[in-house]
Amino acid sequence: MGIEIETSSPLASDGPVVPRSSPNNGEGKKRPGWSLSKAALLLVCCASAFMSLHQGGYFKALESKVAEKTSNQTHRSTYTYAALSDSIARLGAISPFATEAQEIATADLQPQESDVIFITGAMHNIGQNLMKVILAKRQEEGKNRDAKPLKIVAVGNFKGRRRLNTAFLEALEKHDVTIESSRVDITNYDALEKLLASYNTDGMKIQGVVHLAAVSRVQDCQSNLDRCRTVNVQGTENILKSLVSLQGQHRLGISLEPKTKPWFLFASSREVYGELGPGAVATENVTALNPINPYGETKLQAEEVLQKWRQEHGLNVVVLRFTNVYGSCEDHLSRLVPTLVSNLVAGKELQMFGSATRTISMLHVDDAVEAIMLGMNYASTLGPSKEGHMEMFNVGGGPNHDALPLSEIVKVCQTSVAAVHQNCQACLKPAVVANREGTASKEPDHFRSNVELARKVLGFQVKHTFDQQSVQDYVQRCHPPQN
């Protein structure tokens, strides 16, 4: 039976190793399969060898050695593997048949390298849904013995966040997926560099980073400019700097050659385009980038930082410019749909900020997560190059779905809440048009996105339309009636 050990560095054994395909009787044939008598003889030899080693105090010395080494948590399984391998090698020196056992057992003991993916902002809106989809994909694919174990390092602020339930974590483990959380702040470079370095060891390979963490609301950036710039721009550069610092660090166990450099997926925003005007459609590498608020400005600055590091260090980068995401219970209550729905459920008067004819691009969280999964897969297929690769993709409902007037969005929310909360009086009242002081001109009035590039290159397809069915499902899950 194989023994699964997560990280190890095999040491040279003392005993001889006979290749399984070595010639037999000078005829170049492989040895025939084991007979019952040979198997019995092997057991006798192994038992005899075990007793000899036990009487000689070998295992006591070995136990002491392993106990001493396992005090170092980083290399715990390395020494466990080495001790077991050494024991088998010594048996091989005693019994000619034990070399077969050595060969088989050491093959089973050989550690399986774990893939590591860092997800910043993992416990927020999109992050939690992304981890659930990763599990669903593993379940769909089934338990594949050839698949590497996967570690998800969830980085971010967990304060006030819904915890992942035990059943979900147990389901992850069944499919060789483990989640390890870290409260490291991406604005703290030293702590971030140490975190990434701790996963740059034998038996683990950093595949990539999904960077979702941000001050992600226009109003929040407007009210706290310094924090917005520090998180959205400096935080992004800190992650890139930490990744690059791992290259050539032999002391940590591996050297990241160009072919193994981690990819980087960045969650950007439609806000980098700014105001488009009536009927205009945003297209990557064609439409000018003219953000009109600090949030859009910092997202664009982060994209520029990515371009710089991509060129200088040969990183492969995928940028997804998301539109307005809805549909998750983990979403900020101050966002558009959560605000409308929660106010309706509470019986409060609705307010529309800005013009009622303002068009807003809507994207269901499931479609956003699907785009990330496709982006991760695409990034992992980009080959190494001196200057790396960087590609931007719009991710939204598409020209036929996402140009909804604010007044229409309000009506859909009212109808959806009324279907679940049948005594909703606020659902029958018209919304009042209002302006947030000082911010009326800080959000685009017109936006539509061209998602054709994401469709062609990534295979992205919009599966959810912003309508009563999708919003009613959100209300039922996140704001059910209280009996």
pLDDT at site 293: 94
Helix pair 125-141, 166-174: axis angle to 10 deg: 40
What is the pLDDT confidence band of residue 55, given thresholds at 50, 70 and 90? low
pLDDT over 50 at 115, yes or no: yes
Specify the residue for token string 């899950």.
477
The two structure tokens encoding residue 134: 């990763």
When mean pLDDT is compared across 171-185, 243-257, 304-318, 461-475, the lowest value belongs to 243-257
Cut 0.85: pTM above it:
no
Distance between CA atoms of 481 and 425, rounded to whole angstroms?
Answer: 14
CATH of 114-478, one of 3.40.50.2030, 3.30.360.10, 3.90.1150.10, 3.40.50.720: 3.40.50.720
> What residues have CB less than 8 Å from 20, skipping those under 6 apart?
30, 31, 100, 103
What is the rounded distance in angstroms from the CA atom of residue 56 to the CA atom of residue 87? 13
Strand pairing class (177-182; 204-211): unpaired
Higher pLDDT, 202 or 92: 202
Portion of the chain with pLDDT greater than 70, in percent: 64
Give the per-residue pLDDT at 357.
74
Query: What is the location of CATH 3.40.50.720 in the chain?
Result: 114-478
Comparison of pLDDT for 453 and 173, the residue scoring more: 453
- pLDDT bracket for residue 62 (50, 70, 90): very low
Report the pLDDT averaged over residues 383-391.
86
Task: Name the pLDDT band for 383 (thresholds 50, 70, 90).
Answer: confident
- Please choose, from the candidates 111, 90, 108, the residue with its C-alpha nearest in 3D space to the C-alpha of residue 17: 90
Round to whole Å and give the CA distance between 221 and 302.
Answer: 14
pLDDT score of 105: 44
pLDDT range class, residue 5, cuts 50, 70, 90: very low
Q: Residue 162's pLDDT is what?
A: 54
Instruction: Count CB neighbours of 320 within 10 A.
Output: 24
Q: Measured between alpha carbons, how far is 347 from 329 in angstroms, rounded to an integer?
A: 20
Share of the chain above pLDDT 90, in %: 40
Cα within 13 Å of Cα(347), Cβ side: 4
Calculate mean pLDDT across residues 226-237.
97
Question: Over the stretch 346-377, which tens digit does the pLDDT of each residue have?
Answer: 998 887 766 667 888 899 999 999 999 999 99
pLDDT, residue 106, reads: 44
Return d(Cα 185, Cα 213) in angstroms, integer. 10
Residue with the bigger pLDDT between 249 and 183: it is: 183
d(C-alpha 84, C-alpha 30), whole Å: 28
Max mean pLDDT range (10-19, 68-77, 388-397): 388-397
pLDDT at 40 over 50: yes
Work out the average pLDDT over 310-327.
94
Alpha helices in 95-217 (DSSP H): 98-109, 125-141, 166-174, 189-197
Count the alpha carbons within 13 Å of 191 in the hemisphere toward its beta carbon.
10
Which residues are paired to 269 by β-bridges? 322
Instruction: Decide which of 359 and 141 is more confident.
Output: 359
CA separation, residue 34 to residues 21, 41, 97, 294, 318 (Å): 14, 11, 10, 73, 54
Quote the pLDDT of residue 25. 44
pLDDT at 43 over 90: no
